[in-house]
Every structure is written in C-alpha cells, then in structure tokens.
C-alpha cells in the first residue's frame, strides 16, 4: 500500500504512515463505491440508443443514396444514347428528330410535348417542327432554350425517368422554295417571265409590294408571270410571313438588255430540243429587219413589217449547248441583239444509233478529231470526284488491262456509283488530267446500270 500524501510504502498491518504520520489509511478494497442515480443511468442508455439509431440512419441513407446514384448512372449509361438531327418536312418547315434506343414494345413519353412514341425496331423516333416552341410573332427573339424530360414506359407499365437534356432551337424562317428560276440572277430575252415557288399554305406572300396571298393554292404553290422591261436589271422582291416563323425575304434579278429597237422572244421559245433544229419567233418594231448570226436555214427567215412579228429556223450542230444569236436592225438606230443557248440532245434511240464501239488507243491519240463522236462505254466506275458542282466519274473500259476514261455525268441518272458496272452512251469532249496522266473526257448523256456483272 502507498501513502496517498507522500507516496511512501506502508505495510498492510500499519494504520499510520511512518514517514509523514498520516493516519486512518484507507485501503483499495475499503474505498467507498460511488452510487449512480437511476435517472442518470436511463439518460445514458437513451443517449447511447439514440447514437446507435442515428448511426444506423446515416449508414442507411448513405447506402440508399449510393444505390440510387449507381442506379441512376446505370440508367443513364443504358438509355442516355439519344441522337439529335435536323430535319425538313415536305412543306419546307424545319424541325428536329430525336432517336431513343430501347426495347420493342416500350414507349418514350416526352413530358413537354405531352406525347408518347412507340419503340419499333429498338428505336423510338421523336419528331417536332421547331416553330412549336414559339409564339405567333417571334420576330423579337433569336432562339429558345428548351429542356426535354423523357420517360421510358416499359411494356409491363414500369416508368423510368431518363436523363433530361437541353436544346437550343433557333427561330425558324418562314419556308419558301423557289422552283423557277433556278438562280437569283437571270439574263432574259423576253418581256414576260414566270416564277414558281412554294410556301406554307396560309402564309402571306408579298411580291414587289403587292399582296398575292390569295393566289397561293392549297398545296402552297404559287405561279406568276411578271413583266420584264429592257432597262437592264429588273429587281423582284419576295416577302413571306408565316405564323410562328420570322419573316423570309428573297430577291430575284432579271436582266434584260437596254435596246434602242424593241426586240423580244416569244415566251414559248424553249431552251432545249431533241431535234437538230428549232423555230425561233418573237416581235420587234414595225419596219425593222432581222439578221441571224448563227447557224440557221436562210430561207426560213420571216418578218411582218407592219406588226414586227418574225420567225426563223435555227440549226444545231453539236450535242449540248448551241448558241442562237440574232439582231434587229433599223435605219437611224443602233442594232438590238438577243443571244441565248439551246441544249440539243436527241432521244436515246437517235443518239445511240451511230454510237461507236470503244477504241481506247485511237481515242487517246485523236480525241480532238473525234470531238462530238458518240461511243458506247462499258465498264466499272472506279472513282468519282467533283469540280465545283460538276460530277466526274472514272470508268475502266479495259478488259485485260486498265483503260480509264472520265465521264462528265449529264445523264438522268443522278450519280454513277463507284463499284457499279454501267453501259453509258457518251460523246467526246476532250481530255482531262487524272492522277498521273491524261484520260479521254466524254459527256455521259444516257446511262444504265448492269446488274450481275
């Protein structure tokens, strides 16, 4: 035993410290035991229980949170594979398409569109026109930021919220498609020209300040004839207003030469012919004469000196574009001239009647003398390229060795597919450089694919 005052050792039978004299020593076994009140014990037990309960709740919450996070990531990984693309409808309206990939029999519900889309072939395709997100007149805004909240509805009725995503939709322009003329700037030789266009039915159409909306048919088509004067540029403005779209404007220019002597073609005169000749007619001033500068039948020239009506028969010597040029002459005034091109292409039976079999070696040597000669070209397309908007296809017409020609495709076949075998009727145009050397260049007029070749 040790003295609690000085720390000296004390024998068990001693009741007083021999060093400091401390008396009435209490042994370890004789110390009084503290008594804890029952209320305090209950409070301690309650705190311990609450601590354990809170720990269990926290662990459970974290477990559930981790589970749902993992489940959300699993769902996002499995279903967040949508593809967005821009589309155009038949009436010219633009929109977007979203493809969701899921199991057949399921459906995708888009909350913002309030519409469901069935999954067919493992794809649910959601389409909508862009204008649905805008008011009647959206002229003061540029775009709308939308949020889509897709829900996957399983075949058994289970609903799974897919990851929401946002899109920026630009305000669409009022649809307008000008079918004719093909270009914005046009040189014309007639006093009347036609324009043909399509808009959304119900749109307001204004041409050079005149409202012509009542002339739009139920399919949205509009065809008009406009006066063109010999003053140089005739400017035509077309304005289209469609609900939930911004205003669209297109400008056309029809250039007609200024003329001291009035001279114009009949609108019925075409710019293409299957025959090697075509009658050209029109009107000039009374008292004027007509002089034809290009190939024509001399005896065919007719003119009525009183009315100014005239006609002549033009002749075409080459396949493709042929220039027709003539003048009105009158004493005391400078001549007025009209020139235009006529595309001459006989029907296939006539064009191919005198076609030559391919003579590749001679064609490479005397392509200039054979300009315009028609050949039957048989072979496989091995390459294709563009220069500007012109498509060129490289055909191998050789059997035992490679013999390449270059075809400029002007046939009614939209494109000659690489790897396919064709029979093509074409006329010689010259030669073109391809890769490491020159190849014969021909204009493909008629083409047909050969299967099982």
Q: Could you tell me if 353 and 446 lie in one domain?
A: yes
> What confidence tens digit (pLDDT) does each residue in 143-166 have?
999 999 999 999 888 898 888 899
- Which residue among 322, 344, 366 closes a domain? 344
Handedness of CA 254, 260, 266, 272 (dihedral sign): negative
Q: What is the 3-state secondary structure (H, E, C) of the chain?
A: CECCCCCCECCCCCCECCCCCCECCCCHHHCCCCCCCHHHHHHHHHHHHHHHHHHHHHHHHHHHHHHHHHHHHHHHHHHCCCEEEEEECCCCCEEEEEEEECCCCCEEEECCCCEEEECECCEEEEEEEHHHHCCCCCCCCCEEEEEECEEEECCCCCEEECCCEEEEEECCECCEEEEECCCCEEECCCCEEEEEEEECCCCEEEECCEECHHHCCCCCEEEEEEECCCCEEEEEEEEEECCCCECEEEEEEEEECCCCCCEEECCCCCCEECCCEEEEEEEECCCCEEEECCCECHHHCEECCCCCEEEEEEECCCCEEEEEEEEEEECCEEEEEEEEEEEECCCHHHHHCCCEECCHHHHHHCCCCCCCCEEEEEEEEEEEEEECCEEEEEEECCCCCCCEEEEEECCCCCCCCCCCEEEEEEEEEEEEEECCEEEEEEEEEEEEEECCC
Q: Could you tell me if 382 and 328 lie in one domain?
A: no
pLDDT score at 356 = 95
Q: Could you tell me if 282 and 323 lie in one domain?
A: yes
Instruction: Examine residue 71 and state whether it is found in any structural domain, yes or no.
Output: no
Min mean pLDDT across 68-82, 255-269, 356-370, 420-434 is at 68-82
CATH of the domain at 185: 2.60.40.10
Q: Could you tell me if 385 and 439 lie in one domain?
A: yes
Q: Is the pTM of this model over 0.85?
A: no
Instruction: Examine residue 57 and state whether it is found in any structural domain, yes or no.
Output: no
Look at residue 187 and tell me whether its pLDDT is greater than 50: yes
Instruction: Examine residue 78 and state whether it is found in any structural domain, yes or no.
Output: no
166: left (phi over 0), alpha (psi -120 to 50) or beta: beta
Instruction: Examine residue 246 and state whether it is found in any structural domain, yes or no.
Output: yes
Q: Could you tell me if 195 and 151 lie in one domain?
A: no
439: left (phi over 0), alpha (psi -120 to 50) or beta: beta
Q: Could you tell me if 381 and 308 lie in one domain?
A: no
Instruction: Examine residue 45 and state whether it is found in any structural domain, yes or no.
Output: no
pLDDT score at 70 = 60
> What confidence tens digit (pLDDT) does each residue in 388-446 have?
888 899 999 998 899 999 999 999 888 899 999 999 999 999 999 999 899 999 999 99
pLDDT score at 75 = 53
pLDDT score at 35 = 56
Q: Could you tell me if 353 and 443 lie in one domain?
A: yes
- Which residue among 124, 139, 170 closes a domain? 170
pLDDT score at 305 = 93
Average pLDDT over residues 220-230: 90
Compute and round to an integer the Cα radius of gyration of the chain.
45
pLDDT score at 29 = 46
Look at residue 76 and tell me whether its pLDDT is greater than 60: no
> What confidence tens digit (pLDDT) does each residue in 91-125 have?
889 999 999 998 899 999 998 989 999 999 999 99
> What confidence tens digit (pLDDT) does each residue in 4-62 have?
667 777 776 676 777 776 665 544 444 444 556 777 777 777 778 788 888 888 888 77
Average pLDDT over residues 372-398: 93
Instruction: Examine residue 371 and state whether it is found in any structural domain, yes or no.
Output: yes
Look at residue 89 and tell me whether its pLDDT is greater than 50: yes
Q: Could you tell me if 126 and 89 lie in one domain?
A: yes
Strand 94-101 to 107-110 pairing: unpaired
Q: Could you tell me if 390 and 317 lie in one domain?
A: no
Min mean pLDDT across 33-47, 274-288, 309-323, 395-409 is at 33-47
CATH of the domain at 375: 2.40.50.140
β-sheet bridge partners, residue 380: 396, 421
CATH of the domain at 95: 2.60.40
Q: Could you tell me if 250 and 184 lie in one domain?
A: yes
- The pair of structure tokens assigned to 222 is 């509009």
Q: Could you tell me if 192 and 246 lie in one domain?
A: yes
Average pLDDT over residues 69-95: 74
Instruction: Examine residue 47 and state whether it is found in any structural domain, yes or no.
Output: no
Whole-number average pLDDT of the chain? 88
Q: Could you tell me if 276 and 220 lie in one domain?
A: no
pLDDT score at 30 = 46
Judging by beta carbons within 10 Å of its beta carbon (0-12, 13-18, 19+), is residue 377 exposed, middle or buried?
Answer: buried
**Number of independent structural domains in the chain:** 5
Look at residue 203 and tell me whether its pLDDT is greater than 90: yes
Instruction: Examine residue 158 and state whether it is found in any structural domain, yes or no.
Output: yes
Domain region containing 297: 268-344
Confidence bin at 244 (pLDDT 50/70/90): very high
Average pLDDT over residues 350-360: 94
């Amino acid at each position: 035993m040790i003295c609690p005052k000085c720390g000296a050792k004390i024998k068990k039978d001693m009741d007083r410290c021999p060093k400091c004299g401390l008396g009435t020593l209490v042994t370890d076994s004789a110390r009084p035991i503290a008594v804890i009140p029952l209320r305090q014990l209950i409070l301690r037990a309650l705190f311990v229980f609450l601590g354990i309960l809170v720990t269990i709740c926290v662990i459970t919450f974290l477990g559930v949170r981790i589970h749902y996070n993992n489940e959300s990531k699993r769902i996002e990984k499995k279903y967040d594979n949508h593809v967005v693309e821009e589309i155009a409808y038949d009436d010219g309206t633009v929109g977007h398409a979203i493809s969701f990939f899921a199991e057949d029999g399921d459906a995708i519900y888009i909350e913002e569109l309030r519409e469901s889309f069935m999954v067919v072939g493992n794809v649910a395709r959601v389409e909508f026109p862009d204008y649905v997100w805008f008011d009647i007149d959206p002229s003061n805004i540029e775009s709308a930021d939308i949020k889509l909240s897709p829900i996957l509805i399983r075949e058994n009725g289970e609903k799974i919220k897919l990851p929401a995503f946002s899109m920026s939709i630009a305000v669409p322009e009022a649809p307008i498609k000008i079918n004719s003329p093909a270009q914005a700037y046009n040189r014309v030789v007639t006093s009347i020209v036609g324009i043909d266009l399509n808009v959304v039915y119900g749109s307001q159409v204004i041409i050079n300040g005149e409202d012509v909306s009542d002339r739009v048919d139920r399919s949205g088509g509009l065809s008009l004839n406009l006066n063109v004067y010999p003053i140089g540029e005739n400017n035509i403005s077309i304005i289209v207003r469609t609900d939930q779209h911004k205003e669209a404007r297109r400008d056309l220019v029809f250039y007609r030469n200024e003329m001291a002597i009035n001279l114009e073609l009949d609108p019925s005169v075409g710019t293409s012919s299957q025959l090697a000749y075509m009658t050209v007619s029109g009107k000039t001033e009374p008292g004027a004469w007509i002089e034809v500068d290009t190939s024509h039948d001399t005896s065919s020239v007719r003119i009525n000196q009183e009315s100014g009506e005239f006609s002549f028969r033009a002749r075409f010597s080459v396949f493709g574009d042929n220039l027709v040029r003539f003048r009105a002459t009158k004493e005391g005034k400078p001549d007025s001239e009209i020139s235009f091109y006529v595309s001459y292409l006989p029907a296939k039976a006539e064009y191919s009647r005198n076609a030559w079999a391919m003579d590749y070696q001679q064609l490479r040597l005397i392509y200039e003398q054979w300009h315009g000669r028609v050949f039957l070209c048989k072979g496989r397309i091995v390459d294709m390229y563009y220069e500007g908007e012109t498509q060129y296809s490289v055909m191998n017409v050789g059997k035992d060795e490679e013999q390449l020609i270059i075809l400029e495709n002007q046939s009614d076949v939209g494109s000659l597919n690489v790897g396919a075998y064709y029979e093509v009727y074409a006329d010689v145009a010259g030669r073109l450089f391809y890769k490491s050397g020159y190849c014969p260049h021909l204009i493909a007029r008629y083409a047909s694919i050969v299967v099982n070749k």
